[in-house]
Amino acid sequence: MQKRELGKSGLEVSAIGLGCMGLSYGYGPATDIQEAVSLIRQAFERGVTFFDTAEAYGPYKNEELLGEALAPFRSEVVIATKFGFNFDANGGQSGMNSRPEHIRAVADQALKRLKTDVIDLFYQHRVDPDVPIEDVAGTVKALISEGKVKHFGLSEAGVQTIRRAHAVQPVTALQSEYSLWWREPEQEILPTLEKLGIGFVPFSPLGKGFLTGAISEATTFDSKDFRNIVPRFSKEARKANQALVDLLTAIAARKKATSAQVALAWLLAQKPWIVPIPGTTKLHRLEENIRAAEVELTAEDLTNIESALATIKVEGDRYPAHLQARVNR
C-alpha cells in the first residue's frame, strides 16, 4: 500500500489504517479474540501499518488484543493509543482525567498491555477542561524524552487548544470525525493543521457504516450498539440521509468501485497528510477498504461530488447532547 507522512512529523504510515475499536467495543458483542487477532494480522499482510486503539475500548481489552496480534511484527507497525478517562469498577467511563500523574500511569499500563517498550502515537482522547492543555503537552513531552512515547496527538480538539498544545510539544496528528457526511473540520481545523504541519486521522470515515450502503431505515442494531443513541441514526434521519448513499452508489458504479471505496478515496484526495482509519470485523470489508487506496478520483469527479453534495442536507446530530459537549474544546 502507498505510505503517507502525518503532517511534517516524519511519522510514515499506510495511506489507510485500521481502527480497531469495533473489535472489542461499541458496535455490539466483542469479536472472538482469535478471529480478531487473525483479522489484524491479515490487515498487516495486506499492507496496513497503522493501527488505532485506546484504553477506553473495552476498557483495556482492545489494547491487549493489539498487543497479542502485532507482537510478531511490532517493529514494522505504528500503534496509536489514547489516554484521558477514569473508569468505574464495571468498566464504564466515570469522567475525564488528563492530570499529569494519570497520563504517566496510563502510559505505563498501555506499554504492558501492548507488549511494547514504546507507544508510537499517544493521543489525548478528549480535551479535559480541568487540566491546562500545556500541562498535558508537557507531560507527553517528558514521556517522549524518556523514550516511552514517540509522538503526541489530540482527538476532537478545537483550534485554540491545538495551537496551545503544539507550542509546548509538536502535535503529530489530530484524530477527529471527518467524512462525506461530517465536513465541519474543513472550516477551521484543516487550515490550522496545514499551517502547523500536523497530520489528520479521520475516524468514522464511512459514517459509522452508513456510507457503505449496508444500513437503511429498516436496519436494527444490537442492544449494545452505541448507534442506538446517535441522533443521526434515528430511523427518520436514516431515511432522509439515504440521498447521500444513493449519490455515492451512482458515483461508485461509474468508477467500478463500491460506495465505501469512493468515500475513502474522497478523503484521501482532500490532503496528502490525511490518513483515514476505517474499522471492521469482516475480512471482505477490510479488503474492500484497503483497495480504496487504488481508486483515483479525478478533478472532475471531485467537482461533480461537490456539486451533488451541495444539494443534500444531512439530517441529525452526530452525537447525543452529553457527548457533543466533549468535542471541539
Q: Hey, how many other C-beta atoms are within 10 angstroms of the C-beta on 80?
A: 29
Q: Which residue shows C-alpha cell 474544546?
A: 329
- The tens digit of pLDDT for each residue in 179-193 reads 999 999 999 999 999
For 3-213+267-295, which CATH class? alpha beta
Q: Is residue 128 within 8 Å of 96, Cβ to Cβ? A: yes
Q: Is residue 196 within 8 Å of 162, Cβ to Cβ? A: yes
Nearest to 166 by CA among 193, 131, 142: 193
Distance CA 175, CA 125 (A): 9
What is the residue extent of each domain of the chain?
A: 3-213+267-295
Torsional class of 10: left (φ above 0), alpha (ψ -120 to 50), beta (otherwise)? left
Q: Is residue 317 within 8 Å of 67, Cβ to Cβ? A: no
Q: Is 60 a catalytic residue?
A: no
Distance CA 200, CA 180 (A): 15
Cell of 180: 462525506
Distance CA 179, CA 200 (A): 12
Q: C-alpha angle 279/329/95, rounded to 5°?
A: 75
Q: Which of 57, 60, 123, 178 is catalytic?
A: 57
The residue ranges of the chain whose pLDDT is under 70 are none
Q: Hey, how many other C-beta atoms are within 10 angstroms of the C-beta on 96?
A: 19
Torsional class of 48: left (φ above 0), alpha (ψ -120 to 50), beta (otherwise)? beta
Distance CA 41, CA 34 (A): 11
Element (H, E) at 151: strand 149-155
Cα–Cα separations (whole angstroms), residue 7 to 84, 153, 155, 225, 271:
24, 12, 15, 33, 10
Q: DSSP character for 124?
A: E
- The tens digit of pLDDT for each residue in 89-108 reads 988 999 999 999 999 999 99
- Ordered alpha helix ranges (H), 201-298: 235-255, 259-270, 283-291
pTM of the model: 0.97
Q: Hey, how many other C-beta atoms are within 10 angstroms of the C-beta on 27?
A: 21
